[in-house]
Amino acid sequence: MASSPVRVRMAPSPTGYFHMGSARTSLFNWLYARHTGGRFILRIEDTDQKRYHPQALTDIFESLRWLGLDWDEGPEVGGDYGPYFQSQRLPIYQEHARKLVEADAAYYCYCSEERLTALRVEQRARGQTPGYDRHCRALTARQRAEYEAQGIVPVVRLKAPTEGTVTFHDLIRGDITVDVHTLDDLVLLKSDGFPTYHLANVVDDHLMEITHVLRGDEWIASTPRHVLLYEAFGWKQPVFAHLPVILSPDGGKLSKRKGAASVMDYQRAGYLPEALFNFLALLGWAPGDEREKMSIKELIDSFGLEKVSPKASVFDEKKLEWLNGQYLAERSSDSLYEEVVKEWGSRGWVDPGTLDRGYVLSVIDLMKVRSRTMKELVESCSYYFVDPQTYEKEAV
């Protein structure tokens, strides 16, 4: 019997800039879909309305398109599994939460935030790990009615098992087992009717028929909870693969100064999309030979999850600059001409209409092999055409 076609997804939240970690995760999902002949789905996880920012949504679309990561289903494209914005799927989550309660796999919790805060303080004072004490797990119908008569709107919590372990298989890391005592009864549906990440994620992945979940290793801790949810619904789990963390060259967490800038920041800094694509593909994955510079077709043909390492990868800015310089040197001078001249004009350095195209092309021929970024190329070529006083005025 033939296996189901691969369906992978990228599900960013429009709450901030589209950073390198999100770009690498998107790229691995896209490569796996293209390598297997599957489909790459874009889903927007916009249920955090307090942190939602329209510009962040625009940044997601622009970043993916600039890198060449076209999606087969999702916003602005459509598909048979929409809506692709979670904020437009609230009735779906509410219905699934209700079904879990009816199946006695979840329950209504009426605890106030004040009680939960006091509980956490008390647990910490005892040296315990903070967690919900399942106060509402065994309420009678009469007790629930009394709470509701007071106008208290409950949340819905999962009835997690109280003993045993949860095991799931990760394609990159192997079997991972967690004791259920480390998992409390997580909230699935909040009192405002919005789902938590866990409920929305599992419901959407199932309904959209996602076969493989490729995401960052920061989500490993959430996966046992998701496994419990799949079991509660009686659904088949997708294949999980958690990608290695990306570190700065000094071994620390990426910061804005150490590679955590947005994708579009790199565009503005003069990097080429094919260079950043190539660089990101090698963060945690290797083709199995000595190649470092690879075309998109070569990456698609070679890509496989069995070659993804569980070890942390390092964001080496020098390597990215080197790769970008290689791609820049290979670009035809004709293809670079318009961008160089347009930038000169936008800075007010020259009147593009007065330039000798042939001479400009000869300068680009000379300087592109010495430049690491488009920004460097624009500035180094300008020395042949721009009065030095222009730079002095600009500096002032």
Q: Cite the active site residues.
A: 256
Strands of 187-189's sheet in order across: 106-109, 155-158, 187-189
Residue spans of beta strands (DSSP E) within 124-211: 155-158, 165-170, 174-179, 187-189
Q: Which residues pair with 44 in a beta bridge?
A: 85
Beta-carbon contacts of residue 3 (< 8 Å; ≥ 6 apart): none
Dihedral (CA of 215, 63, 276, 316) sign: negative
Q: Residue 157: which residues within 8 A CB-CB, separation 6 or more?
A: 106, 107, 108, 109, 132, 136, 137, 185, 186, 187, 188
Q: What are phi and psi of 69, to 5 degrees?
A: -95, 80
| 8 A C-beta contact, residue 209 and residue 178 | no
- Quick count: other Cβ atoms within 10 Å of Cβ 182? 12
Cβ-Cβ contacts under 8 Å for 330 (sequence gap 6 or more): none
Q: What is the 3-state composition of the chain as percent helix, strand, coil, each rounded to the nearest 5?
A: 50, 15, 40
Instruction: Please state, in angstroms and as integers, the Cα–Cα distance from residue 136 to each residue in 66, 210, 326, 364, following that order.
Output: 50, 34, 62, 71
DSSP state, residue 226: H
Tokens found for residue 357: 């195209």
Structure tokens at 38: 């599957």
Q: Amino acid identity of 94?
A: Q
Beta bridge partners of 165: 179
The two structure tokens encoding residue 4: 């189901």
Instruction: Quote the CA–CA distance of 84 and 74 in Å, as a whole number.
Output: 5
* Nearest-angstrom CA–CA distance, 42 and 331: 31
